[in-house]
């Protein structure tokens, strides 16, 4: 095994090994636990940097483990798409770990929490690095299993119920994905991810069967990507602690679903073949429906985290939409939104967590004038919210711009109206919050205020949203700089649509 094939395993190990060790740490060994968490996250980031360098210089990264005789292997493989998702996970894991350490200070069962937290990140990285459907499936299910204990972490009856709903959706989705994968293996004889897609190369396969498999796969992935009507678990999973919600919404679960859809359309079926099969049209309509529906539901939520959750339902479907519109520019828009949505949403959830943790504020109706009490937090919140609406030059604007251009380029003008309508709705549910925050008078007392001296809150809670908010600005302002998410998405697209 040379360095190149070991690198991917190392990237997985940097979160798996600390996670497993942390499980066995006694509760009070805070220093060791923090060192392990932070050390793993930093080392992972460095290794991902090496990986980016390698992929740019044409290194091939692949690790295989035979799973069954007859060519069924577990494959880790790094292509440009994996790198996009792995980088997002590695960066946001580091930030979220800092946040979680601050958030959970002094609470119970932290070893269990951080153990599963690390497993969750391992699963996400595995999803990103999977080189074929079965490897994807393995990590996709591992993700389900490792997030469940985080959702029920608080051990209340409400948490148990939310966990039940979560599992009902995700296990059923996993089962659909499994059936689709087996069937695909039976029909195609292989399910490696390749740039043009293995299915596109089949000459004599029954097109009805291929369509049925596509539907099964997308339904299985759509559960995690929260496509309507498979989104019901997401708003209920809000009972989890804030760092978990942040991770769930920005990197881990919903993104795994969206990334899987990208993989299936681009690298299993091949975009052009999927379009000729006539399955991308309905997928685009489904994504558009989800975008509008999620935004409409978000309008009517008073609980901040629930509003953000419905906003996630809506925003993640931009990624699906970008892929389903079929065209190089729209694909760029979808892929770049994978990163941009992650940055913006994680900022919003960090801020929501800060409000709850510092002032006990959970509802939007209690947020009047909160900008004066917590100016830094709410500044980060404002940047991310404006980004979500699509105000230039923030990250969300870049995504929407490319999606719109791409739709026009592909001759699907209706998508532009969806984008415009969705932006209006986004403004409709974010602007009133911003208005109340900054311009209304604060109440005499906050529901449950904790004092942090002269600072508005603990630094571990404040630094992460500020960093991610800066990234939101940077991703938009520096979109044409080398190594920006946009450039990387373009790099991927040139491979998918190469002549």
Partner 1 sequence: MEVAVENMPWGVMVILLPLAGALVCFLWPRRSVPLGLLGALGVVACVTGLCWQVVEQGAQRYTVGGWGAPLGIDLYADGLSLLMLMMTAVVGLGISIYSSGYFEHKTAVVFWPLWLFLWTALNALLLSADIFNLYVTLELLGLSAVALVALAGGADALTAAMRYLLVGLLGSLCYLLGVALLYHSFGSVDIAILAERMELSPAVWAAVGLMSAGLLLKTALFPLHFWLPPAHASAPVPVSALLSALVVMASFYILLRLWLEVFPPGAAAAGQLLGLLGATAVLWGGIQALRQTRLKLLIAYSTVAQMGYLFLAFPLGTSFAWKGALYLLLSHAMAKAAMFMAAGNILRFGGHDRIADLDRVAQRLPLTLAAFSLAGISIMGLPPSGGFIGKWMLLDAAFYRGQWWWALILIMGGLLTAAYVFKVVGYAFTQAEVTHEASRVPAGMEWTALVLALAAVLLGLFAPWPLALLDIGFPFSGGCAE
Name the residues that contact partner 1, by CB under 8 A. 23, 65-69, 74, 108-109, 112, 134, 137-138, 141-142, 144-145, 148-149, 152-153, 155-157, 159-160, 163-164, 167, 171-172, 174-175, 178-179, 182-183, 185-186
For residue 349, CA distances in Å to 306, 308, 355, 465 come to: 11, 8, 10, 9
In this structure, how many other beta carbons lie within 10 angstroms of the beta carbon of residue 242? 24
**Least spacing, CB of residue 125 vs partner 1, in Å:** 16
CB 225 within 8 A of CB 257: yes
Q: Is 203 exposed, middle or buried (0-12, 13-18, 19+ CB in 10 A)?
A: exposed
| CA torsion, ordered 387, 391, 397, 400, to nearest 10 deg | 100
Q: Closest CB to partner 1 among 35 and 161?
A: 161
Smallest distance, partner 1 to C-beta of residue 178, A: 7
CB-based contacts of 269, cutoff 8 Å, min separation 6: 197, 199, 200, 210, 214, 277, 279
Q: Give the three-class secondary structure for 231.
A: coil
CB atoms within 10 A of CB 378: 25
**Nearest distance from residue 218's CB to partner 1, in Å?**
17
Please give the DSSP secondary-structure letter assigned to residue 442. Answer: P
The separation between CA 465 and the C-alpha centre of its own chain, rounded to angstroms, equals: 16
In what helix (H) or strand (E) does residue 62 lie, and over which residues does it extend?
A: strand 61-68
**Closer of 45 and 212 to partner 1 (Cβ):** 212
Give the whole-angstrom CA distance, residue 150 versus residue 90. 19
Closer by beta carbon to partner 1, 160 or else 450 = 160
* CB of 54 vs partner 1, minimal distance in Å: 27
Q: Nearest distance from residue 18's CB to partner 1, in Å?
A: 17
* Nearer residue to partner 1 within complex by CB, 9 or 171: 171
Residue closer to partner 1 by CB (options 155, 482) is 155
Angle between helices 133-151 and 242-250 (to 10 degrees): 160
**Residues whose CB falls within 8 Å of the CB of residue 130, separated by 6 or more in sequence, listed in order:** 75, 76, 77, 82, 136, 138, 139, 193, 263
Cβ-based nearer residue to partner 1, 183 or 438: 183
Choose between 115 and 404: whose C-beta lies nearer to partner 1: 115
Q: Kindly give, in sequence order, each residue whose CB lies less than 8 Å from that of residue 247, ignoring residues fewer than 6 positions away.
A: 92, 93, 96, 117, 120, 121, 346
Q: How far is the CB of 69 from partner 1 (least distance, A)?
A: 5
Min dist CB 134 to partner 1, Å, is 8
For residue 199, the 8-state DSSP code is G
Nearer to partner 1, 179 or 470 (CB): 179
Run of H or E residues at 55: helix 30-56
Backbone angles phi, psi at 205, to 5 degrees: -80, 150
- Looking at the Cβ atoms of 43 and 172, the one nearer to partner 1 is 172
Shortest spacing between CB 128 and partner 1, in angstroms: 17
Nearest residue to 130 (alpha-carbon basis) of 86, 174, 69:
86
Separate counts of helices (H) and strands (E) for the chain: 20, 2
**466 close to 380: Cβ distance less than 8 angstroms:** yes
Choose between 192 and 366: whose C-beta lies nearer to partner 1: 192
* Closest CB 113 distance from partner 1, rounded Å: 12
Say how far apart CA 291 and CA 132 lie, in whole Å: 29
* Nearest distance, CB of residue 213 and partner 1, angstroms: 10
Least distance from partner 1 to the Cβ atom of residue 246, Å? 21
* Closer by beta carbon to partner 1, 137 or else 261: 137
CB of 256 to partner 1, least distance (A): 14
DSSP string, 233-295: HHHHGGGS-HHHHHHHHHTSHHHHHHHHHHIIIIIII-HHHHHHHT-HHHHHHHHHHHHHHHH
Nearer to partner 1, 183 or 446 (CB): 183
The residue among 59 and 112 lying less far from partner 1, judged by its C-beta, is: 112
Closest CA to 112 of 149, 161, 73: 149
Report in angstroms how near the CB of residue 222 gets to partner 1 at its nearest: 17
Q: Are 97 and 42 contacting, i.e. CB atoms less than 8 angstroms apart?
A: no
């Amino acid at each position: 095994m040379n360095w190149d094939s070991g690198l991917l395993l190392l990237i997985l190990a940097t979160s798996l090994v600390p996670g497993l060790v942390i499980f066995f740490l006694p509760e009070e060994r805070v220093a060791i636990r923090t060192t392990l968490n932070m050390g793993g996250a930093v080392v992972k980031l460095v290794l991902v940097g090496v990986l980016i360098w390698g992929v740019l210089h044409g290194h091939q990264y692949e690790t295989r483990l035979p799973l069954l005789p007859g060519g069924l292997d577990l494959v880790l493989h790094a292509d440009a798409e994996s790198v996009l998702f792995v980088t997002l996970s590695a960066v946001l894991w580091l930030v979220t770990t800092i946040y979680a350490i601050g958030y959970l200070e002094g609470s119970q069962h932290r070893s269990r929490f951080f153990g599963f937290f690390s497993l969750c990140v391992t699963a996400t990285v595995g999803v990103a690095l999977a080189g074929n459907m079965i490897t994807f499936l393995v990590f996709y299910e591992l993700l389900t299993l490792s997030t469940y204990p985080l959702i029920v972490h608080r051990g209340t009856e409400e948490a148990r119920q939310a966990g039940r709903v979560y599992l009902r959706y995700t296990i059923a989705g996993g089962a659909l994905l499994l059936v689709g994968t087996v069937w695909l293996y039976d029909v195609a004889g292989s399910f490696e991810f390749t740039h043009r897609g293995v299915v596109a190369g089949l000459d004599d396969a029954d097109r009805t069967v291929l369509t049925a498999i596509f539907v099964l796969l997308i339904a299985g992935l759509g559960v995690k990507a929260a496509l309507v009507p498979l989104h019901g678990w997401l708003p209920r999973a809000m009972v989890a602690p804030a760092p978990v919600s942040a991770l769930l919404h920005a990197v881990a679960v919903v993104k795994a679903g969206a990334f899987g859809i990208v993989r299936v359309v681009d690298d299993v079926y091949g975009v052009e073949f999927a379009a000729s099969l006539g399955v991308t049209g309905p997928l685009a309509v489904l994504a558009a429906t989800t975008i509008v529906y999620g935004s409409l539901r978000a309008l009517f939520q008073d609980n901040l985290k629930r509003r953000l959750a419905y906003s996630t339902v809506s925003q993640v479907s931009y990624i699906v939409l970008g892929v389903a519109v079929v065209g190089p520019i729209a694909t760029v828009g979808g892929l770049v939104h994978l990163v941009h949505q992650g940055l913006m949403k994680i900022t919003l959830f960090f801020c929501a967590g800060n409000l709850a943790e510092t002032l006990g504020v959970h509802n939007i109706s209690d947020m009047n004038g909160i900008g004066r009490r917590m100016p830094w937090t709410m500044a980060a919140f404002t940047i991310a919210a404006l980004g979500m609406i699509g105000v230039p030059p923030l990250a969300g604007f870049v995504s929407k711009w490319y999606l719109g251009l791409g739709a026009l380029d592909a001759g699907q003008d209706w998508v532009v109206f969806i984008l415009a309508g969705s932006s209006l709705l986004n403004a409709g549910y974010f602007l009133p919050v911003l208005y109340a925050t900054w311009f209304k008078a604060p109440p005499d007392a906050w529901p449950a205020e904790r004092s942090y001296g002269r600072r508005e809150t603990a630094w571990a809670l404040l630094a992460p949203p500020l960093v991610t908010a800066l990234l939101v600005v940077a991703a938009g302002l520096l979109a044409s700089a080398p190594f920006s998410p946009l450039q990387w998405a373009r790099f991927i697209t040139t491979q998918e649509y190469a002549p």
